[in-house]
Amino acid sequence: MEDKTMPINNSNNGSGKQKDWVLFPFDATNEKAIKLDFSGNINLDNGNKGTILGVKGSSRDGNTKFVKVFAQVGVLFKGDDKFTGEINYPEAGGLKGLIGWVNESGNILSGYKNEPRPKQDSPKKETPIQPKAESKEILF
């Protein structure tokens, strides 16, 4: 079975700079793959709504069942030849700009995180800052 942990140390664009992040397609045969079972909203302290995601799980012995809850921490937008967006994830350095590309096979998305560009004054609605991403086990 192929290990699909983040092979960041081996990913670069030919310039020698290692990539900072990678996304793989869901592979049901990989025991480390995560399939989303639930998605929903959460009221944030700043009055905005955030997105939460849930993944079913169980203990090794099968006696305890739970749902791991993940928070949305960023978004990527598809452009003509690349993906761009932002992430706000304290363990990844806080607020960062993201840029990435799909590989030649068209199935893996990877790229770099950078300091975000300053917001320009415009009448556009600002993107709310998402809460810290956490994984909690909830018994059910």
79-120 pLDDT per residue, tens:
999 999 999 999 999 999 999 999 999 999 999 999 988 777
Contact 1, 31 (CB under 8 A): yes
Alpha-carbon gap, residue 60 to 95, rounded angstroms: 36
pTM strictly above 0.75: no
Write down how long the chain is: 140
Alpha-carbon gap, residue 113 to 100, rounded angstroms: 9
Q: What is the mean predicted confidence (pLDDT) over 128-135?
A: 53
Contact 66, 138 (CB under 8 A): yes
Q: What Rg, from alpha-carbon coordinates, does the chain have?
A: 17
